[in-house]
Structure 1
Amino acid sequence: MKRISIAILLFFLSATAFAQDLSLYKKAFFVANGDTLKYRILYPKNFDSQKKYPVILFLHGRGESGKDNEKQLANGGKLFLNENFRNNHQVITIFPQCASNSYWANVEIDTVNTKRFFTFIKGGQPTKAMSLVLQFTDNYFKNSFVDPTKIYVGGLSMGGMGTFEMLRRKPNTFAAAFAICGGDNVLNAKKYKHVPLWIFHGGLDDVVTPQFSYGIYRKLKKLGNTPKFTVYLKANHNSWDSAFAEPDLLPWLLSHKK
């Protein structure tokens, strides 16, 4: 009985610590033309508005869509709360949340017998969610404390698709990027052929085929920019777990400067 009580206590203590960690991401929102983008923002320790800081924009997956301004931290939120990382890197990290009735990327999705099929659009108008992010970043990146030479973007699944879209819609903004289990129309790749990019995918992904990531990798290689490309042969769609465990991911990202 005593062991059970201790286990329960430890569970609640760890759950509380986790909640407290995520609470370091401050809740905020951005309004444009009557539409609202909710986001969470993590400032570096001892933030000083008189200094300049790198900024990482992170785009979540479809499962974290909504309006609670909380779910978007489920995958990736803890990555930037790592004490070693925070003690050694002064970075602003932003997690916007996509509404459930929109999508980060301009992609057509059809479902046949519970299987989803993606058709990525070349060009086209941004979705409402993407439009809000574009307007928000145009506004936020003008802050005097943002280092314009050290702005980065990354995301997973829908957010990996959104990462490619951000790169092509703002090709001169980002110093580097990473995309996990995402995809894009290969004809869009020429827009971001100059951006250092690390692409990840699970070899067994049965939600978003790894062929999408490989297609971008192959196209960029033909265009003269060979991105880093990592395939986890035994991973399914949640290849972000393996990508987040890469010790070089954030150091690699932050090593780039425009």
Structure 2
Amino acid sequence: MNKLLLGVLGFTLTSLFAQAQTYNSGSFSYHGDPLPYRYLKPVIDENQKLPLVIFLHGAGERGSDNEMQLIHGSKLFSDSLSEYPALVIFPQCDKESYWPNVNIIQTETGINFQFEADLLPDSPLQLVDLMIDSLIQSGIVDTNRIYVGGLSMGGMGAYALVAANPDLFAAAFAICGGGNTEVASRYSRKTPFWIFHGALDDIVPVEYANVMNAALTDAGGNPILTIYPKANHNSWDSAFAEPELLKWLFAHNKSTTKQ
């Protein structure tokens, strides 16, 4: 195990192998750019490799307090840690930034999101990408079981991160997000997606879910689309209540699933 890399990530051997039912704090940095994160992990032995889950929060949880990103979704994983043991990481995006490279245009009818084809460079999501690489190099991650999910801005980030790494993730989910349909063919056959959205969403309209579902399907994928007829933007409440979500997510393993 690469102790230097673990130290850079804010982990230590003691913390890695100690029992933790709550989220510990850490920070990753690259060329002076910081990425605070909170992480959850089960008890493991020194030679055990863990599934890795990256969860990307929404715009309302941005900041530098390394706390806000736990508001939505963290309890889902902590309550299920014994059933689905994994290294779960909640990074935090800076207040003035956005996970992927997106042009946000306010119009008379609402907000229009234009997703750039070059999704990661100079974005906080690039730091997440580099952090994942460092974790893989450290040897603690089961590379056949890496997952990503997110809500709103984080759902957009999930699409972008998978598009930038089409061979990396075993499965992904996006809640009330959207993505670049032109790059869906990069990963549609390789990464199973579960898409959630509220039909009444007035922040990120449900059309963004519909067009991503269509793009992934047209490119040969088989995404799952769940639309909540009475939900507005906070469709994450319904998504996190789905009894099959974690079972579906962790059932995917690249070593046993034909890509």
Q: TM-score, normalised by structure 2?
A: 0.87
Deviation of 1:126 (Å)? 2.7
State the Cα deviation string for residues 88-109 of structure 1 (Å, max 9, x = none): 2211100000001111111101
**SS of the residue aligned with 2:106?**
strand
Alpha-carbon distance in structure 2 between the residues aligned to 1:230 and 1:253: 15
Alpha-carbon distance in structure 2 between the residues aligned to 1:252 and 1:130: 25
**SS of the residue aligned with 1:26?**
strand
- Aligned residue for 1:32? 30
After TM superposition, which residue ranges in structure 1, 4 or more long, deviate above 6 angstroms? none
State the Cα deviation string for residues 215-254 of structure 1 (Å, max 9, x = none): 0111111111120110001100000000000000001000
Q: Find out whether 1:50 has 2:53 as its counterpart.
A: no
Alpha-carbon distance in structure 2 between the residues aligned to 1:257 and 1:64: 30
Q: Which amino acid aligns with 2:78?
A: L
**SS of the residue aligned with 2:131?**
helix
Aligned length in residues: 234
Deviation of 1:128 (Å)? 2.7
**SS of the residue aligned with 1:80?**
helix
Alpha-carbon distance in structure 2 between the residues aligned to 1:198 and 1:252: 9
- After superposition, the Cα gap between the structure-2 partners of 1:114 and 1:67, relative to the gap in structure 1 and judged at 3 Å, is farther
Q: Find out whether 1:198 has 2:194 as its counterpart.
A: yes
- Aligned residue for 1:109? 104
Conserved? CA contact 1:183–1:213, under 8 Å? yes
In structure 1, the gaps of 5 or more residues are: 1-21
Aligned positions of 1:116-135 closer than 5 A? 116-123=111-118, 125-135=120-130
Percent identity over the alignment? 47
More helix by share: 1
State the Cα deviation string for residues 33-55 of structure 1 (Å, max 9, x = none): 111000000011x2323211111
Q: Which amino acid aligns with 1:34?
A: G
Conserved? CA contact 2:100–2:119, under 8 Å? no
Alpha-carbon distance in structure 2 between the residues aligned to 1:115 and 1:219: 23
Alpha-carbon distance in structure 2 between the residues aligned to 1:70 and 1:23: 16
Deviation of 1:141 (Å)? 2.1
Of 147, 150, 162, which residue of structure 1 is paired with 2:142? 147
Q: Find out whether 1:174 has 2:169 as its counterpart.
A: yes
- After superposition, the Cα gap between the structure-2 partners of 1:141 and 1:94, relative to the gap in structure 1 and judged at 3 Å, is same
Q: TM-score, normalised by structure 1?
A: 0.87
Which structure has the bigger radius of gyration? 1
Q: Which amino acid aligns with 1:67?
A: S
Q: Find out whether 1:223 has 2:219 as its counterpart.
A: yes
Conserved? CA contact 1:105–1:127, under 8 Å? no
Alpha-carbon distance in structure 1 between the residues aligned to 2:230 and 2:134: 41
